[in-house]
Amino acid sequence: MALETVLAVAQTDESGDGHALADAVVDVAGPAGATVVVLFVFPEADYTEAVSDRDDGSVSPSPDALAATRESVGRLADALEAAGIDHEIRGEVGDPVERILTEAEEGDVDLVFVGSKRRSPTGKVIFGSTAQDVMLNAPCPVVFVREDR
């Protein structure tokens, strides 16, 4: 299986440092010569809030432009840039699992990277797991990277 396109899902919460995910993506995509799509999914309410926070009267930014301002996206993009890996930043709005799976399928993605911070078993039951849903339903292999923080 040749790797041409890799999807790296940036964390929506900024609690982890993101280095483990960035390192894993670079370690795989770099030698393969793959292009990396860095995806950030805004839940609808979060996107609406981010756009409404702009009081400067300018045109609302696209999801792609707003995604590029997120710290987790910046960390991934910086690591890819430093490694000389072709990449693009994509922002989506909606249900995270649905948007990730759609991107993986429609983007003809060969491999998906998802990360997650450590959570208690109770936290997993209460909040569910986007990473787990993606791993079980993706149209391609998925690499799960756990952030230790």
Q: Which residues pair with 7 in a beta bridge?
A: 37, 112
Domain with residue 38: its CATH number is 3.40.50.620
What CA–CA distance (Å, rounded) separates 65 from 68?
Answer: 5
pLDDT tens figures, 54-111 = 656 667 789 999 999 999 999 999 999 999 999 999 999 999 999 999 999 999 999 9
- Find all residues with CB under 8 Å of 103, minimum gap 6, and list them: 7, 37, 39, 90, 92, 109
**Tally of domains within the chain:** 1
Domain that holds residue 108: 5-147
The answer to whether residue 29 scores a pLDDT higher than 80 is yes
The sign of the torsion formed by the CA atoms of 79, 28, 115, 148 equals: negative
Overall average pLDDT of the 28-42 stretch: 96
Average pLDDT, the chain: 87
Residue 142's pLDDT band, with cuts at 50, 70 and 90, is very high
**For 83-103, b where at least 16 C-beta lie within 10 A, e where not — what string?**
bebebebbbbbeebbebbbeb
pLDDT at residue 120, rounded to an integer: 61
